[in-house]
Structure 1
Amino acid sequence: MIHMRLQGKVGIVTGSGSGIGRGIALAMAKEGAHIAIVDINEEKSNETLKEINQYTEGMLFIRDISKPENIDGIISDVVAKFGKLDILVNNAHASRQALFSETTMELFDLSFNTGFYPTFNFMKAAYPELKKSKGKVINFASGAGIKGQPTQASYAAAKEAIRGISRVAANEWGPEGINVNIIAPIALTEGVKQWSQSAPELYEEMVNNIPLRRLGDPEQDIGRTAVFLASEDSDYMTGQTIMVDGGSIKLY
Structure 2
Amino acid sequence: MSGGTRLEGKVALVTGAGQGVGRGVALALAEEGAAVVVTGRTESKLRAVVAEIAERGARAHAVSGDVGRREDVERMVAECLAAFGRLDVLVNNAQSSVQRLLEDTTDEDIDLAYRTGPLATFHAMRAALPHLREEGGSIVNFGSSTAVLGDPAFGSYAMAKEAIRGLTRTAAREWGRYGIRVNTVCPAALSPAAAEYRDADPERFEKVIRQIPLGRMGDPEPDIGRAVAALVSDDLSYLTGATLMLDGGRTILG
Match of 2:205 in 1: 203
Gaps of 5+ in 2: none
Q: Please show how residues 9-24 of structure 1 align to structure 2 within 5 Å.
A: 9-24=10-25
Once the two structures are TM-superposed, the CA of residue 68 in structure 1 deviates from its matched residue by 1.0
CA deviation vs aligned residue, 1:134-171 (integer Å, no higher than 9, x gap):
10000010122212111111101110110001100000
Once the two structures are TM-superposed, the CA of residue 78 in structure 1 deviates from its matched residue by 1.4
1:35 lines up with 2:36 in the alignment = yes
TM-score by length of 1: 0.96
Contact 1:170 / 1:180 at 8 angstroms: preserved in 2? Answer: yes
Contact 1:84 / 1:133 at 8 angstroms: preserved in 2? Answer: no
Alpha-carbon distance in structure 1 between the residues aligned to 2:78 and 2:133: 14
Alpha-carbon distance in structure 2 between the residues aligned to 1:218 and 1:30: 14
CA deviation vs aligned residue, 1:12-47 (integer Å, no higher than 9, x gap):
000000010000000001111000011001221111
The amino acid of 2:47's aligned partner reads N
* Residue aligned with 1:184, SS: strand
Match of 1:93 in 2: 95
Alpha-carbon distance in structure 2 between the residues aligned to 1:79 and 1:197: 40
Match of 2:244 in 1: 242
Match of 1:186 in 2: 188
Once the two structures are TM-superposed, the CA of residue 115 in structure 1 deviates from its matched residue by 1.2
Contact 2:65 / 2:76 at 8 angstroms: preserved in 1? Answer: no
1:7 lines up with 2:8 in the alignment = yes
Once the two structures are TM-superposed, the CA of residue 72 in structure 1 deviates from its matched residue by 2.6
% identical aligned pairs:
43
Total equivalences in the alignment: 251
Give the stretch that moved more between structures: 69-78 or 237-246: 69-78
TM-score by length of 2: 0.95
CA deviation vs aligned residue, 1:217-252 (integer Å, no higher than 9, x gap):
00000001100111001100000000000001139x
Match of 1:171 in 2: 173
Q: Please show how residues 98-247 of structure 1 align to structure 2 within 5 Å.
A: 98-247=100-249
Once the two structures are TM-superposed, the CA of residue 125 in structure 1 deviates from its matched residue by 0.5
The amino acid of 2:214's aligned partner reads L
Alpha-carbon distance in structure 2 between the residues aligned to 1:99 and 1:86: 39
Gaps of 5+ in 1: none
